[in-house]
Structure 1
């Protein structure tokens, strides 16, 4: 993807899963990367691996996007040449718990709202003005979820946060309609990453049962979709992509082979 060579791409939540897969895909295309994640050690390890493999430039640092002051400081402290960001991939996000709304843990709610919604807003608010100032053909790619389209039992708050991602993307696209900046919302269905491990607070057995009997998407599948949107000609805006495994129709309608669902 020659058109992405030497672009500067900022990816949040880049230490694992979809964020890491996107980082590798952009690195392979010759882009230079700014990578952040809550785990400093993990994101720096990803950066070292990609630098060695693809001989690109990478800036990496630990960042919890829930903290507005830390986000502002991290972006403000970027060297001038790294402020010429072409593509922002708002990937940092999480789900916590699967209880009924009236039994939910309010700390879990705070984590989801502060990361999935406010963190995305904080990064977007800081980086889009750079794109406008530098007059680049910019691109904001927000990783949402099919949960933002179809609610499911036990997921009310998570689904609400991903609905917010969809409508923030739509609204931002309207705000930028007279600018050379595209906005894409990618809405995956079931993707096997550490997502469910986080949702179930580290219970790997419970997390594994989510994907039993179905071939889920991989992080690399979603990275392929991100790259498709990012590599489209500048006059082409992929507004929204919803992608699921073949045996998933909505967030709650899934066919699992040889699995007793009752």
Structure 2
């Protein structure tokens, strides 16, 4: 039986890489994205490999998500997997200088959009039962604090705990839940965070050999294809060039 996978934020980065990976393996795909032109082009390309249904929708819009999911074509009704990829970081300024609109956008996308999608699709995943899986895209920012991570790191800490809590509620259903927690990754995600600053983007990755979207797609493909009796609870990934920094210490000079 052909497996069907639902991917949010499929028009770039991890989502796009996952769509390509699973399409090549013959999985049927439901792909969401806000950018209609990009989404249509991706769906047309991947339709050469598998059945694809695109949804031009913003995960932050609960009513729109409810309508889109309720009206999926019958051939896409049976769902085996969900990749909650849609998410973003905005800015790296310290908290006192941040724009509240940016904070609210991160909360609405990284938390509310993820829980809307998850809750709306849970009945379909439970109906599939054994072997079904939810993969949430977390971040090392949800595990380790760093300057400028404030709300972004907070949203990813939520994703981590939500994933663990969801596992408890889904015990006995056969549905698996995994949280993938990448470190330094090179993708459009960072260009959005840096507000299109190409020089800053380039400097971030220069000589660092960062993780690539394809690396994450390969990892998620493995997670969703492990034997049905195995759950990958959390998986943290960093490039070899990245590690933990020391604690910050404020030092006072004597008057």
C-alpha distance in structure 2 between counterparts of 1:140 and 1:119, whole Å: 15
Tell me by how many angstroms 1:134 deviates. Answer: 4.5
Equivalents in 2 of 1:63, 1:207: separation in Å? 28
One of 89, 94, 99 as aligned partner of 2:83 = 89
Asked if 1:161 is matched to 2:142, the reply is: no
Deviation, 1:120, is 0.4
**Correspondences of 1:145-160 after superposition (within 5 Å):** 145-160=139-154
Q: In 2, distance between residues paired with 1:49 and 1:242?
A: 31
Matched, 1:25 2:4: no
**Residue 189, structure 1, aligned to residue 187, structure 2:** no
Runs of 5+ unmatched residues, structure 2: 247-255
Q: Please tell me whether the aligned partners of residues 68 and 119 of structure 1 are also in contact (alpha carbons under 8 angstroms).
A: yes
Structure 2 SS opposite 1:92 = coil
Alpha-carbon shift at residue 132 of structure 1 (Å): 2.1
1:44 maps to 2:40: yes
Correspondence for 2:249: none
User: Does the 8 Å CA contact 2:178/2:232 hold for their aligned counterparts?
Assistant: yes
Is this contact kept in 1: 2:89–2:106, CA < 8 A?
yes
Q: Does 1:132 align with 2:126?
A: yes
For 2:46 and 2:227, how far apart are their aligned partners in 1?
Answer: 26
Q: Encode CA deviations 1:18-42: one digit per residue, 9 max, x unaligned.
A: 0000011111111000001111111
Cα distance, 1:213 vs. partner?
Answer: 2.5
Number of corresponding residues: 246
Q: Specify whether residues 77 and 136 from structure 1 end up closer, same or farther in structure 2 by C-alpha distance, changes over 3 A only.
A: farther
Alignment-derived partner of residue 211 in structure 1: 205
How far residue 178 of structure 1 moved from its aligned partner, in angstroms, is 1.4
1:73 aligned onto 2:67: yes
Report what 1:177 is aligned to. Answer: 171
Do structure 1's residue 10 and structure 2's residue 11 form an aligned pair? no
RMSD: 1.3
Q: Is the 8 A contact 1:18 1:223 kept in 2?
A: yes
Tell me the secondary structure at the aligned position of residue 126 of structure 2: helix
- CA drift of 1:45 comes to 0.8
1:103 to 74, 80, 97: 97
Q: Which has the larger radius of gyration?
A: 2
CA–CA distance in 1 between the matches of 2:185 and 2:39?
20
Which deviations, in whole Å up to 9, do the C-alpha atoms of 1:204-227 show, x marking residues without a partner?
222221112211010000011101
The 1-side partners of 2:77 and 2:146 are apart by: 40
